[in-house]
Chain A
Amino acid sequence: RKEVEQDPGPFNVPEGATVAFNCTYSNSASQSFFWYRQDCRKEPKLLMSVYSSGNEDGRFTAQLNRASQYISLLIRDSKLSDSATYLCVVKRTGGFKTIFGAGTRLFVKA
């Protein structure tokens, strides 16, 4: 079983839709959580960190459920420019390793 698992998708949604991605992690010693975005043939870039209390950045909302070892990302009012792969990222206590999920592909269509 992979340490970080994501639904690979693809998710095909119309502009303006709300879409949610889920991610589960297996190592309970995981300490820090992030969502990165990767455009086709580009490098990954940090989208947002994920906090236990949940956090929001514009149209993006991230949630963490430590008991269920589950992370989510909600995108409201999808834009064409949101089309990308979204990577769930987990960092273990001690901070020596950052583990990337395989990513969820999103296509937003006009």
Chain B
Amino acid sequence: DTAVSQTPKYLVTQMGNDKSIKCEQNLGHDTMYWYKQDSKKFLKIMFSYNNKELIINETVPNRFSPKSPDKAHLNLHINSLELGDSAVYFCASSQLYGGTNEKLFFGSGTQLSVL
């Protein structure tokens, strides 16, 4: 069983469209995250939710809206897609939120290409 699963794996779309990426974890973790990895391979946190509550909201355009219907799911909706949004988006989860030995479990990533 996949611990952190995200869909779709690939997403190719036109500028201006709205798209969503879904993430689910079956690890029973309380905390979930969205990370963006750009073409230079730099992995940067976007959002974090702990028990459905938004904890971290980095300087991300408000076209990006995360939603956590329950602690096992964290979806990412992107409005009015731009060329610069092209990247790999990783969902992750962890249990010891705030703990010093928190281990992150990542999904396999969604490659978003905006044309």
A-B contact count (CB 8 A): 52
B108 is contacted by which of A31, A42, A91, A95 (Cβ under 8 Å)? A42
A96 is contacted by which of B55, B100, B107 (Cβ under 8 Å)? B55
Q: Is B78 an interface residue (CB 8 A)?
A: no
Chain B residues near A87 (CB-CB < 8 A) = 43
Given contacts A32-B101, A94-B98, contact A85 B108 (CB under 8 A): no
Given contacts A97-B45, A100-B42, A100-B44, contact A44 B104 (CB under 8 A): yes
CA–CA, A97 to B40, complex, Å? 21
- Contacting pair B104 A95 (CB below 8 A): no
Q: Is B64 an interface residue (CB 8 A)?
A: no
Q: Is B66 an interface residue (CB 8 A)?
A: no
Instruction: Tell me the chain B residues, 2-16 only, with Cβ under 8 Å from chain A.
Output: none
Instruction: Tell me the chain B residues, 92-115 only, with Cβ under 8 Å from chain A.
Output: 97-104, 106-109
- Contacting pair B102 A43 (CB below 8 A): no
- Contacting pair B100 A98 (CB below 8 A): no
Instruction: Tell me the chain A residues, 12-39 only, with Cβ under 8 Å from chain B.
Output: 31-32, 34, 36
- Contacting pair A43 B101 (CB below 8 A): no
Q: Smallest distance from the beta carbon of A25 to chain B beta carbons, Å?
A: 15
- Contacting pair B102 A32 (CB below 8 A): yes
A49 is contacted by which of B40, B97, B101, B106 (Cβ under 8 Å)? B101
Chain A positions near chain B (C-beta within 8 angstroms): 31-32, 34, 36, 41-46, 49, 85, 87, 91, 94-100, 102-103
> 8 shortest A-B CB distances, which residue pairs?
A95-B98, A43-B106, A100-B43, A32-B100, A102-B42, A46-B103, A43-B108, A44-B106
